[in-house]
Structures are given as C-alpha cells and as structure tokens.
Structure 1
Amino acid sequence: MGAKQAKPLERKEHALPELTPQSMPEALRLYYKAKVLPTELLLSYDVFCSPPLLDAEFTCSPAVLVVGEYSVGKTTMINHFLNMEYLSSRTGPEPTTDTFCILSYGPDHCQLPATTMINDLKFPYQGLSRFGQALLNRCFTITCPCPLLRHISIIDTPGILTGERQTKSRPYDYDLVLQYFAEKVDCILFMFDVLKVDMGEEVKRILLNLQAFEEKILIVLNKSDMCDSMTFNRVKGSLTWTLSRILQTVEVPRIYCGTFWDQPMQSLDNRELLEQDTRDLCKELRSLTYSIHVRRLIEVTQRAIHARMFALISNELHARYPPFCFNLLKQRIATCLSEEIYPEVIRRYKLSPTDLPPIPAMQQLLSGGQDGTLPEIEESAVQDLEDFLNIDVPRFLNVIPPEGSIPANYGRLADSTLYAQSEKFDWCAADEAAEKHGWRKEFQKLKPLDGRVGPEQVTAMMEGSGLSRPMLDQIWRLADDDGDDLINEDEYCLIKFLLKRTVEGHSIPDELDHRAKPPRTHVSRHCLELERNRKMAENNPPKSEPFPWRFEHDPRKWDFDRKEDPENIRMREQTKDILRSLRDRLGDGK
C-alpha cells in the first residue's frame, strides 16, 4: 500500500559491567542507554513523558527540595541542618530568598550561576534550560565545605507569594519550575508556619501540582515551640484536615512538628513530641542515601514498561495502517485502538488493561512522533526491553546496597545518640581509664585555678573528638553537675571518658546514674583495688566468736567519744549487766 518503510533501529553493542553494589549506579546507566533509551528516542517518548535521563542523574547524590511560603523558615532550617550558613543565605520576616539555590559539597564556599552549570555534563539539572534565561539568571549552584553535602544535596527555593506578586514579580513560571525539581529530587519538604497556617490559593494550587509526587512529600510544621499545647493541637488538627481535603489521600498525611533553628525552645509543653518528630524526620532524610538506588531502578523500570507498551501498540498499528494515514485517520485510529488493537495486545501478550497507556496519550504520541508518524520498532529492540524487565531488573534488585551502608550521619542529621539506650557504667570505670590514659596529668597541664578550669580551656580538646556540637554540649552538661561552668579534675576525667565511649559507638545517656558521677571531693583511690578487697571480704567471712552466747544488741561499733548518744548509753549499760551476770556465775562456781 506504499507504506513508508520503517527506519532501522540503530543499536550499539555495549560492554555491560557485572552487577555489584559498588557498580550499580554506573551499571544501571549503561543498561538504560543500551536497552531502553534507543526505543525511547525512536518513539519520541519525551512528547508523552519526561525527556531521557541524563548520565549525571545516575551518579548524583540524593536531593531534597525545600518548599513553602515566605518566612516559614526554609533557609533557617537548611542552615540548621548544615550547622553553618551557606553563602548568600538571607533570613527575615519578609521574602528574602528570590533565587533557586542548589547546595552541594565543595572544599570552599563558592557560588556558580546555572547559566554556566547547565553546560557541565555532571550537572543533573541541565533541563533548566527549557525555562529560559530569566530563570537561569535566578538559579545558582552553591558549594559548602559541609560533610553532609557529600551525601545529600539541598535545593532552597523562593517562598510562595500570594496574589499577583506570584506572577508579576517573577519572569518565569514558578509552578512549572517546582514541578521540574519535584520530578528530579528524592524528597520534598513542604513547610508550614505554626503561627500562620492559613493556606492561600497559591499554596493549594502548588500542592495539587505536586500531588503526582505524593510519595516524596514530607509535611513539616515549623516553629512548633512558639505556642502552648492547646494552640498547637488546634493548629496541627486544622492543618491535617486541610491537607486531607487537598491531597485527597486515603491516609491522613503525617506532619513532622519541630523547631529548626539554633535557639532554645520557647515553650516546653510539647518538648517530647517535637524532639521525637525531629528525630523521625532526620531518619527519613538519612535513609535517602539508600532509597535513591531503589528510586532510580523503579524509574528506569517504569520507562522500560511504557516504552514496551508503546512499541507493541505502534507495531500493531503498522500492521493495520500505512504510516502516512496516522495523521489523516486520527479518529478512526482512536476507535481502532480501543476496539481492536488494545484487546489484541492484551490477549497476545497477557497484559492487564491498566498496563496500557490511555487513548489520549497515544494520540498525543502519534501527533508528535518523528516526521508526523510513529515508527515501527524492530523485534530485537522489543526483546531488549523484555530482557531488561524479566532478567536484568531482578539482578539489580539483588545488588541494591543494603540500608545503612551509605551513611549520611553528619551535622544535625546525625543519628541521635543523646536519647538512645546507653549501657550503664560506674565511676570506677572512668577512674580506671583516667589512670590508664593519664587524663589527670592532662588536667594539671591546663593550669587549673583553685582546682577548676572553664569551658574555653577544654573546647579544643572536645572538638578534636569529631563529635557534633549538640553531643559535646550534652557531655559538658553531664560532667558539670553543679552547673557552674567550671569542672574539676574528676569531672575532666568524666568528660574524657564520655568522649571516648561515644567515639567508640556507645550512646550518650540523658542523665548520669548516681554511681557514674565522681565524688564531690576528690579522694585518691584505685577502684580496682577496692573491688578486689570487697570480694576478698565476701569470700572470707570473720570467724565466729569463742563465747557460747551472743550479745543481743545492734552489732555496730561503739563510739565512746559520743557519750550523749542514747544508743551508746543503752549499749554500755546492757554490757555492764552482762559482765556483772557473768561475774556472779563465775563466783558461784568456785
């Protein structure tokens, strides 16, 4: 019928690497380029779905997108997690962040414009170029020497504005840019302020736009310490009800409540809840280093499934119609898809109707294909897709790095050892360690005044342990039991002992047991010798008295120096009576 001959599928042979947990990201990239990408390019798959995956998307670190209205504390929370302020960060009650800031690791503080970065093949957000120069001028990559950013990158966004300010003050489509980032990142922190939780139409619209990425969204209620318990519960309940209506979810979305800045809590009414939610949120963020491998595999698998479905339907269309008729017979082809082709594909390949793309999607693909036609896909390409789905995907599942093997235990995201169950210890263990490691001599080198030193004299030593500041603060608080910001020799040894235990993997107790605290006044003693003497006393009880009778009195030593003590007087009189009776008996026996 003069049908246009299908273009041959150009396929290259790739030396695919052996699958191991270490090679998984690079291997997944090569398998995608060899078995999935060729079919996507022939089908113009980006017309229906997102553009092909970039090489940098397979090897980049997981990313967190922070979204919310202006002044909810987005930038402050990021600085709190990093334990430092990133370059050009600004905070305040009015809109301060007017740019998209992509934070990544670097040895120095540096700011690079996106106009330059989109030409870097290692930059995973090269697709930003589609939004034009107006956006690129307001998007920057900022590097920080923060260890956390080695494992997780963070994207700070301009606050959501209300009314006409959202459109008139921004020369780019803010909603579309957020959707682009939401598709690329691994987690979305959507923040609300407990003091202004009323949700505007702009916030509702953005939530609806991001509903397709619902599994990535974590709702954060910031500044939760700024109100009392009754107000907090009312605000949280109202936010939960509103979110349930907007997102239309079966389950009520969880809200992580906390106060993410470096100041003490204003209200302690809900302290335990806020601390627990903060720990849970940090745990979710730490798990991204593991879940990113699962997400990438799922994304490539879904693209392979869609490409296979489109390829099967395209080949079935080519078997029934010549390619030049695709644009002329759109209505006829749409009817044919629903009544003939879809049932045939379902029967032949044993598929579910839900696996097939909707009819409008196929019509969109027919209109946007190469040269206005939909090419026929070679059987070898379809076989590559099936091999990837049936053989390669199970193999990838077996080599996913185990959870916890790629830690992000840095900064404020560090796993909290502060409230974990801690193995108990007593002061004897700390005293023995002090004698063994010479900590008492270290203390004397600090030249204590009246036997005490201040925090400025031990700060360098404590920071040398590599522990985070919150942990160091807790260790100092435990050692400085009287709270005078001065420590003596024993308290210094206790600090050294707690630092050593924590570095070795033990947890920091919330409070010290009384047996773990040093004596109030230092007494030079060796705990091991005392323990040995105690055991010897237990194993060798005193010999029994030679008298056939025993005194019926309290077996305590008499204190003759305290004559006014009634107990001493009673015991002395009782003894005199016994001796008098004994003397009388001995006299009668003569």
Structure 2
Amino acid sequence: MRGPGLFCCCLTALLLLGGADDVNEAEEITTRDRTHIDSTLKLTEDSPKDDYAGALQRLRKIYHNAIRPLELSYKYNELRQHEITAYQGRTLADSAADGEITSKPMVLFLGPWSVGKSTMVNYLLGLDDTPYQLYTGAEPTTSEFTVLMHGPKMKTIEGIVMAADSSRSFSPLEKFGQNFLEKLIGIEIPHKLLERVTFVDTPGIIENRKQQERGYPFNEVCQWFIDRADLIFVVFDPTKLDVGQELEMLFRQLKGRESQIRIILNKADSLATQELMRVYGALFWSLAPLINVTEPPRVYVSSFWEDDYHPDTHKELFLKEEISLLEDLKQVIENRLENKIAFIRQHAIRVRIHALLVDRYLHTYKDKMTFFSDGELVFKDIIEDPDKYFIFKSILAKTNVSKFDLPNKEAYKDFFGVNPITSFKLLSQQCSYMGGCLLDKIEKAITHELPDLLGSIGLGKKPGALNCDVTGCGEAPKNRYRKH
C-alpha cells in the first residue's frame, strides 16, 4: 500500500456512483430495514446441525493424545508465547483447552473511542431499545471488554465468574489480575447470530491515556483477544483518522494477522461525496505506514447503526458494502472448524519446536559437563550465547523447521530462569513401550492426522476418514479466512 495508486480505483468508484454532492438534513429519521442481515447470515433458517461433531471429537482427541503430553512435559505454557491455555494443573488446563477447541468463532471490535463500535454491535444484534443495548455516546463510553455470547435467556456475567468457568475458555484471563476482571463483562443473549459466533467489544483507544491509568495491561489483554479472534474489525470514523502512539502499538500487535483484519470507515453517510473521497484517501495515507503488505486489508465504507441512511447519500453503495462485510462474517462462521484445525496445527508446530530446543539445550549441557564442572556456570554460558553452541542453527539443520517459527532467544533466558535445565528429560527418553515416543506422536499429528482431518472436511467426506494421498500430508493448511 504505497502512494495513492492503490486506492484511486476505489475513489473513482465513488465518483461514478453519482448522487447529490451535498448531504441535506433528514426530514425524518426512520429505522433501517434489517432483512438483509437475516438473509445474508441465514438467520431465518434453523441453526445448522453440527455435522462436524465427529471431527471436533477427533480434534480434541489428537490434542490430548499427541500435543498435550509434550506441552506438559516441556512446560510450553511457561514460554508465554501463543499458549492455548495457562497451565493451572492437568485437569483444569485440559478443560480450558477443550473449551477453546469447541468455542465459537470470535469477532473482535477495535478502534479509537466513539467511532461506533458499540453502536455497530447493537445494530448487528438488534439490541437497540432492549435492556441489553450497549451504552453509546459522543464521549468515551465503553470502559469494559464486553463479551456477547449465546445463552437461553438474557443475563449479565461478571468477569470474575467468566474466568472461573473454564468451559468458557476465558480462564486464562485471570493472569491479567483482578483489576482487569472488574473490567470484563459477559452478556448472554438468546440470539440466532450468537449461536454461531461470539462478539467482543473493547474500550476505545484514547491517545493521551497511559496504560497504568487503566489499572491493567491493556495492550497485553488486547493481544490475548487478537490471538484468538477469527475476524477483527478495526473501526474508524471521519473525525478520528489521526494515528497516535496507542494506535501504532495496536497495529504492531496485529502484524501477521492481516488476513483477519477488516478496516471499517463508519458514519460515512454523514459526509458529502467530495468529503467522503477525501476522508477515504486520508484513511489510507494514515494506515499505509502501519500495514506494510502487498495487498492491503479490505476497507468497508458505510454507516452501521439502526437509523436509516441520511437522504441524498449513496445508499446503494453503503448497503452493498454492508452486505460484503456480512458475507465475510458468514464465511468465518461456515469455516469455523477448518480455522480451528489450522490453529491447533500451528500450536502443535510451536510446541514441537519448543521441545526440540529444550532437548538441544539439554544435550549441549550434558556434553559440556565434566566431573569438575560447575553446572550453574556451564549452563549460564550456554544460555547467554546459544549461537556459540549452534543451539538454534542445529534445529534448522536437522529438522523441518522454518526459521520464521523459531521463538525469541531471549525468551529462553526467562524460561530457564524458573525451570532448571536438569528438570527436563531428553526427547529420546520420552518414550514408552505401549505409548510410543512423544515426538513421533506430535510429528504424526502435524504431518498426517490434522491435515487429513482438514482435507476430509474440505472434500465433504465423513469427518475422520483418512486419505493421505488426496489431502497431501505434511502440507500446511491454507489460510481460509479470506475470500479468493
């Protein structure tokens, strides 16, 4: 996304649509027709029966049999990188992992304050004029992380209760402290859309507010939700296009998740055509330094609230943009299982790499130890300069590992600071006559079982049926978040 060339065609499209140059005041505000939401998302149909129950059960089995044992043995969670759950004992951790594996797709709303995030949630769910309408206003209003979930009846759940219920997959949020849990709230609503997806509304970014003023690590909490989101809506409005420090930090956190990001220019019907063109261009220029990718994220231009569009504006354009956004949301819902399998496979790859690195550190330590050596000094030398002992290079040379998947070397200083190297066993010792070797099991899951499961779904076959020749065992599953 460099220069005006990449968005000039979009600006031209706005010109060709014609329409009035000025926006006249509305004579009467009417409520917008919502039938396109129900029809696009197929909410009028009965909730689809989960034809993937067998595949979901098998995914859970693969995780517990092939991935979880190595994860526990080498304390992967304490590396604090992309963990599925915080390790809190075998039973609770397994339960939380099950909750995340079976959880619905998550849609995350991010952006500056008062750009219409909460109003957009109200509109999509039809919460306006109901007891559970999210509070909105011109001033900063949302100070909580609000999770909207399906439930048999409308009720509010406190954050401390959500964190205590491991089946909801939110128990790892306890690590951010009680101050954060007081800013976390859940709302259960018997809504058709929430049967298939979970919405998360976040506090708006205020550039002059420091993290310590919030009382909890705001960026770390955002990262936790970003790592688990299937679709990320970053919302702007025509009056808040400036990029400050907090917004820059947010886009750094979104790095690598460009395929899930959708940029929304909200409140578009408040502008005349010429103004809208200028604002659209200004938004691209503001975001260009932050999203340095060949194909920029999709930008939707519309107004997401219950009131009808202002008269004499580009209603047809805004409606088409809204339907396109809903189509993206529908695709995420339909591909929920494929996305979950791909996520678990990525997690398995990271666990395997971590185990190989710990094994290499342990091998090096044993090789350098002699009868007269000081074990603490020997390992300190290894951990301070792993390149001298070819720790990471040996992993790349002997295994099918990408250098882009390797963790940060500094992370292992902290990891071994709380986990003595002598507390681990070599991978060659992690084998049993009946159960086989832990490394072999996770490699089989990565190269055969998970790709086969993913392929069987894509081919419309009965979940669980294996055909390595057809699915291409060992190939990384393609990103299915985007429409091609």
Tell me the TM-score normalised to structure 1 length: 0.60
Structure 2 residue 104 is matched with structure 1 residue 72: no
- The verdict on how the C-alpha distance between 1:276 and 1:402 changes in structure 2, with shifts beyond 3 A counting, is farther
Shift of the alpha carbon at 1:355? 5.2
Matched residue, 1:329: 379
In structure 2, what residue type is equivalent to 1:34? N
Partner of 1:382: 439
Residue 43 of structure 1: how far off its partner (Å): 1.5
CA distance 1:372–1:270, shift in 2 (3 Å): farther
C-alpha separation in 1, matches of 2:271 and 2:316? 15
Answer yes or no: is the 8 Å Cα contact 1:44–1:370 preserved in 2. Answer: no
Query: Pick from 302, 315, 319: which aligns with 1:258?
Result: 302
Determine the structure 2 residue equivalent to 1:575: none
Paired residue type of 1:385: I
Q: Distance in 2 between matches of 1:336 and 1:171?
A: 37
Aligned to 2:468: none
- 1:110-167 CA-to-partner distances (Å, cap 9, x unmatched) read 1110111222232111111111111112211111121111111111122222313x54
d(CA) in 2 for partners of 1:207 and 1:335? 32
Bigger drift between 311-320 and 176-185 goes to 311-320
1:81-138 per-residue CA deviation (whole Å, 9 max, x = no partner) reads 1122361521111122222211111232211101112222321111111111111122
- The equivalent residue for 1:461 is none
What pairs up with 1:394-433 in 2 under 5 angstroms? 394-400=451-457
- Equivalence for 1:112: 157
Q: How does 1:574-585 map to 2 (within 5 A)?
A: none
Matched position secondary structure for 1:141:
strand
What amino acid is the match of 2:438? A
| AA partner of residue 426 (structure 2) | E
Partner in structure 2 of residue 137 of structure 1: 182
Match of 1:459 in 2: none
In 2: Cα distance, 1:107 partner to 1:160 partner: 33
Residue 51 of structure 1 is matched in structure 2 by 83
**SS of 1:39's equivalent?**
helix
The answer (yes or no) to whether the contact 1:117–1:123 under 8 Å persists in 2 is yes
Across the two proteins, how many residue pairs are aligned to each other? 383
How far has the Cα of 1:258 moved from its partner? 0.8
Is 1:83 the equivalent of 2:133?
no
The 10-residue stretch of structure 1 (259-268 or 44-53) with the greater mean CA deviation from structure 2: 44-53
Bigger CA drift: 58-67 or 115-124? Answer: 115-124
Alignment partner of 2:338 out of 294, 297, 314: 294
Task: Report deviation, 1:179.
Answer: 1.2
Deviation of the 1:305 alpha carbon? 1.8
Q: In the aligned structure 1, how far is the partner of 2:376 from the partner of 2:413? A: 9
SS of equivalent to 1:103: strand
More deviation in 43-52 or 366-375? 366-375
CA contact (8 A) 1:240 1:252 kept: no
* Aligned equivalents of 1:402, 1:142: Cα separation in 2: 37
Structure-2 residue corresponding to 1:506: none
Alpha carbons of structure 1 residues 347 and 64: separation in structure 2 relative to 1, 3 Å: closer
The CA distance in 2 between the partners of 1:373 and 1:337, in whole Å, is 23
Please give the per-residue CA displacement for 1:518-539, whole angstroms capped at 9, x wherever unaligned: xxxxxxxxxxxxxxxxxxxxxx
Of 263, 266, 286, which residue of structure 2 is paired with 1:222? 266
Matches within 5 A, 1:27-426: 27-48=58-79, 49-53=81-85, 54-85=97-128, 87=132, 89-164=134-209, 166-167=210-211, 169-266=213-310, 268-322=312-366, 325=375, 328-332=378-382, 335=385, 337=387, 340-349=390-399, 351=401, 353-354=403-404, 356-369=406-419, 373-377=423-427, 378-379=430-431, 380-400=437-457
Judged with a 3 Å threshold, the aligned counterparts in structure 2 of structure 1 residues 341 and 326 are, in CA distance, closer, same or farther, namely farther
- Counterpart of 1:533 in structure 2 is none
* Distance in 2 (alpha carbons) for counterparts of 1:182 and 1:333: 31
Asked if 2 retains the 8 angstrom alpha-carbon contact of 1:257 and 1:277, the reply is yes
Residue 199 of structure 1 and its aligned partner are, at CA, apart by 2.9
Aligned residue identity for 2:159: A
Secondary structure at the aligned position of 1:108 is classed as coil
Matches within 5 A, 1:402-551: none
Distance 1:268 1:290, change over 3 A: same
CA contact (8 A) 1:366 1:373 kept: no
Q: Which moved more, 1:328-337 or 1:247-256?
A: 328-337
CA distance in 1, matches of 2:114, 2:378: 54
> Is residue 180–residue 215 contact of structure 2 (8 Å, CA) maintained in 1?
yes
Question: Cα 1:338–1:259, aligned 2, differ >3 Å: closer, same or farther?
Answer: farther
Q: Structure 2-normalised TM-score?
A: 0.72
Secondary structure of the structure 1 residue equivalent to 2:53: coil
**What is the letter of the counterpart of residue 89 of structure 1?**
L
Cα contact 1:337–1:359 (8 A) shared by 2: no
Quote the Cα distance in structure 2 between the aligned partners of 1:243 and 1:267: 30
- Paired residue secondary structure (1:189): strand
Q: Which one is further off, 349-358 or 217-226?
A: 349-358
Contact 1:75–1:89 at 8 Å: present in 2 too? yes
| Aligned residues of 2:261 and 2:297 also touching (Cα < 8 A) | no
Give me the whole-angstrom Cα distance separating, in 2, the residues matched to 1:350 and 1:172.
40
Name structure 2 gaps, 5 residues minimum. 1-50, 86-96, 432-436, 461-484
Supply the distance in 2 between the matched residues of 1:129 and 1:56 (Cα, whole angstroms): 16
C-alpha contact (below 8 Å) 1:35/1:388 kept by paired residues: yes
CA distance in structure 2 between the partners assigned to 1:350 and 1:138 by the alignment: 43
1:216-251: per-residue Cα shift (whole Å, max 9, x none)? 221111001111111111111111121121122222
Give the Cα–Cα distance (whole angstroms) in 1 for the partners of residues 107 and 399 of structure 2.
40
Name whichever of 283-292 and 361-370 sits farther off: 361-370
Shift of the 153–310 alpha-carbon distance from structure 1 to 2, 3 Å rule, reads closer
- In structure 1, the residue matched to 2:42 is none
Residues 182-237 of structure 1, C-alpha deviations (whole Å, 9 max, x = no match):
11221111100123322333222222223243332211110011111111111111
Q: CA contact under 8 A between 2:108 and 2:233: conserved in structure 1?
A: yes
In structure 2, give the amino acid aligned to 1:43: Y
* Whole-Å separation in 1 of the counterparts to 2:390 and 2:242: 51
The answer to whether the Cα contact below 8 Å between 1:189 and 1:219 also exists between their aligned partners in 2 is yes
Over 3 Å counting, the alpha-carbon distance change for 1:224 and 1:297 in structure 2 is: same
Q: Deviations over 1:311-359 (max 9, x none)?
A: 3333344334238847643334565556544454444445555554454
CA positional deviation for 1:366: 3.3
Relative to structure 1, the CA distance from residue 249 to residue 331 in structure 2 (aligned partners, 3 Å threshold; closer, same or farther) is: farther
Root-mean-square deviation (CA, aligned residues, Å) is 2.6
In structure 1, distance between residues paired with 2:65 and 2:397:
29
TM-superposed deviation, 1:400? 2.6
Q: Which residue identity lines up with residue 67 of structure 1 in the other structure?
A: L
Secondary structure of 2:337's match?
Answer: helix
User: What is the Cα deviation at residue 257 of structure 1?
Assistant: 0.9
Q: What's the secondary structure of 2:226's corresponding residue?
A: helix
Which runs of 5 or more structure 1 residues have no equivalent in the other structure? 1-19, 404-590
Deviation at 1:371, TM superposition (A): 6.6
